[in-house]
Amino acid sequence: MNAQKSLKKKNISRHPNNYHYIDNNNMTKEKWIQLKNYYSPHESNRTTALDRNGTIDKVSTCVVDRCICEKDQAEDCMRKVNIHMRKCEQYIEGGNIKETTLLLRQVNGRNGLIKDRSSCMKGNRDGGELRDEYHVKDKHEHERNRAYHPNNGPLPLQLGGEKNTHHNNLFLDKFGISSKRGKNELKCELKNELNDNLMLVLNYSSLQVLRSLNMRYAYVNNKEYFMSLSLICNQLAVNKFNDKEFWLILSNKLTKVLKIKNINKIFCIRWLSLILNSFARVHILNKDFMKEASAVIMQCRSKDEMHSFDISQIVNSFSKLNYIDYNLFEFLEKFIYDKIDELSYQSISNICNAYCKLGKNNEILFSHLSKRVQTNLDKFNEQELANILNSYSKLNEKYVNLFNKSLQHVLDRFYKFKPVEIVMITNAYSKCNIYCKSFFSSLYCYIKNYSALFQPGELAIIANSYATFNMREVHTFEFIKKRIINKEYLLEDRNVAMLLHAYGKLLIRDEDFILNLLKKKKDVIKSLDSRNLTLFYVSLVKLNIHIPPDIYKSFKIMISKNLYSFTDLALVSICYASMFYMYFDMKLISSILLLLNKRQASSRSFAHQIHVSLFVLHTLYDFCKFSFKFIECLYHLLIRAYHYVTQPNYYDINKSGIQKRIYPFIPKKFINVHTEVPVGPFVVDFLLLRRIDTQQSVRQLSETGKAKVTP
């Protein structure tokens, strides 16, 4: 987006009459040294330079004026180079080498002075004086540029014909382009050279920005300066100028500027919001700068001082940088209410995305925004619609009407969405537990045709969505597996847990794939939070896969180390999964049961799993051999579980995956199908294998646990 067009600012003269330039040829060596000392970033050197000679003030004033002009020229150069790059790409695609080479020549001609000037700024010296070749131009180069300019007549270059072939080759050779190379090679070479020229302009502009901020505040104390500063920063970010050192220095200098009293009178919200957006684009976070920016924004009292565009830019910047200032967001909320009818569709999307991360219930705000969204669903583009649905899915209150109305718009434009947007929408509907058969049919076709465009992490989220609705689509998971194999390193920690949870819940026992994933991502176990660690461990046990001893040891260490960070349901799930005969550890189980009793855990799901766990313990051990403390713990747990067991609907649990698969083949008349007893299949295996040899091995494993249990 062209920032200047959107801001609708006045045309400001780029060369005011009061700007004077220093004639480098008439500058003495002594004055250049004074000038260099003046530009030193240290205040002491600058003061010394001023005190040394009274005439330096005139020189410094001229330099300040020149720097401001050079900032505008740099901005103009960036704009022109961008235009040339776009034109060159169009000409290359069309096979018009003539126009392409002309544009390349013009860019090189324009950037000749920038190359010289940039070398001057870096401090190159020749004979003790700083080199400045700003006014030094090669006369022959100038004439050559004029001769080849389109306005001066046609060039002797005719593509596709046999005539003038010699002239064509000579013409191309003048610009270092071999006439024997193809269009693709020419395209790559021109793009590389244009990118080099663009980076030259960006480097020069960044240098000028920092130099201008080293000047006295009196010289930059005007609105036009901060306007130019914000526009240049915006262009640097748009063109992906990712020099972290520059952005950190800039943020430190701007932090000092924002601390100046009444700075908000000349540093208006519009320019500050653009600068914040620039930092968000390059993902550079300086908390001190964000804090000062927040303080300046909250000094705004009139709603006319802040446009709806500014609000959107501010909250989006804070959201992208994961720096949430609750006071600022609460302050901006009242401005959103006043301007809710003026918000653009992109602004609505940005505000929804930012405020959903607060973790607070902004029900009134989201209720007002949902009304605007529902009445204008056809006007949001694909990215905005995906962001909005993803934002509303994170709220405690699920806006079912919004999701139902959006569904048809999603289906109508399904193949216009990008893969990342499809993932966001799928995840949103699964979080809200809204299932649509047509949606998943379209999703299967989309994945089948464009599986190569998905990243492994995105496919893990889709797999988790299938698990939410208990959809055991083997063909879809085959596409997912093929895409992830040999790219496991691209999976984030939580993505691995999601993927294994999906395979475990749907009982897709692809042992080779899972073991390969487990071995390559075993270091992930040490960095998982309690929730994802639970999913990881329980899923592997459900699949009845032999976990390598070193990996299982890591699991036990991490669970024991973070035992108090797990929720009650997570602890019960781990205890229930630990009934698997290969990984039965009485020491771990006893520590979990004691903690659950201490917390007085109680719920229907808790009752089901603790009932099974106590049943297994009673089958294996003689409770009389336990300590009184542990027996008392088991007694209280059983009482809380029995409260739910006696309820008439206790056995009305969800049907298992096996039952759902065989249900269509069972006669519907004269047969009553009951749900399975609340004992997992691996627990039944554990009890059936309880022979003399198995019992001895289990008791040997639990000897260390008895020492823990018996005080």
Q: Can you give 309-346 as a three-state secondary structure string?
A: HHHHHHHHHHHHCCCCCHHHHHHHHHHHHHCCCCCCHH
Given 241, 259, 294, which residue is the final one in a domain?
Answer: 241
Q: Is residue 356 part of a domain?
A: no
Given 216, 241, 266, which residue is the final one in a domain?
Answer: 241
Q: Is residue 476 part of a domain?
A: no
Q: Which two tokens stand for residue 701?
A: 């494993």
Q: What is the mean pLDDT of residues 571-600?
A: 87
Q: Is residue 486 part of a domain?
A: no
Q: Give the C-alpha separation, 208 to 374, whole Å.
A: 47
- Choice between 629 and 1, residue whose per-residue pLDDT is larger: 629
Q: Is residue 135 part of a domain?
A: yes
Strand partners, 130: 125
Given 186, 217, 241, which residue is the final one in a domain?
Answer: 241
Contact 316, 278 (CB under 8 A): no
Residue 251 has pLDDT above 70, yes or no: yes
Q: Give the C-alpha separation, 127 to 107, whole Å.
A: 31
State the pLDDT confidence band at 364, using cuts at 50, 70 and 90: confident
State the pLDDT confidence band at 76, using cuts at 50, 70 and 90: low
Read off the pTM: 0.65
Q: What is the mean pLDDT of residues 56-81?
A: 48
Q: What is the mean pLDDT of residues 370-379?
A: 92
Q: Give the C-alpha separation, 97 to 100, whole Å.
A: 5
Q: Is residue 556 part of a domain?
A: no
Judged by average pLDDT, the poorest of 319-328, 551-560, 648-657 is 648-657
Most confident region among 172-181, 392-401, 537-546 by mean pLDDT: 392-401
Residue 37 has pLDDT above 80, yes or no: no
Q: Where are the alpha helices (DSSP H) in 94-164?
A: 97-121, 139-147
Q: What is the pLDDT of residues 513-531, one digit of tens each?
A: 999 998 888 888 888 889 8
| DSSP letter assigned to residue 129 | E
Q: What is the pLDDT of residues 476-501, one digit of tens each?
A: 999 999 999 988 888 888 899 899 99
Q: Is residue 172 part of a domain?
A: yes
Q: What is the pLDDT of residues 672-682, one digit of tens each?
A: 444 444 445 44
Q: Which two tokens stand for residue 130?
A: 């700083």
Which pLDDT belongs to residue 151? 41
Average pLDDT over the chain, rounded to whole? 73
Domain of residue 152, residue span = 1-157+164-241
Q: Is residue 260 part of a domain?
A: no
Which pLDDT belongs to residue 494? 87
Q: What is the pLDDT of residues 198-232, one digit of tens each?
A: 788 888 888 888 888 887 777 777 788 888 889 99
Q: What is the pLDDT of residues 77-99, one digit of tens each?
A: 556 656 655 555 554 445 444 44
Q: Is residue 101 part of a domain?
A: yes
HSE-CB for 108 with a 13 A CA cutoff: 17
Which pLDDT belongs to residue 661? 55
Residue 413 has pLDDT above 90, yes or no: yes
**Structural domain count of the chain:** 2
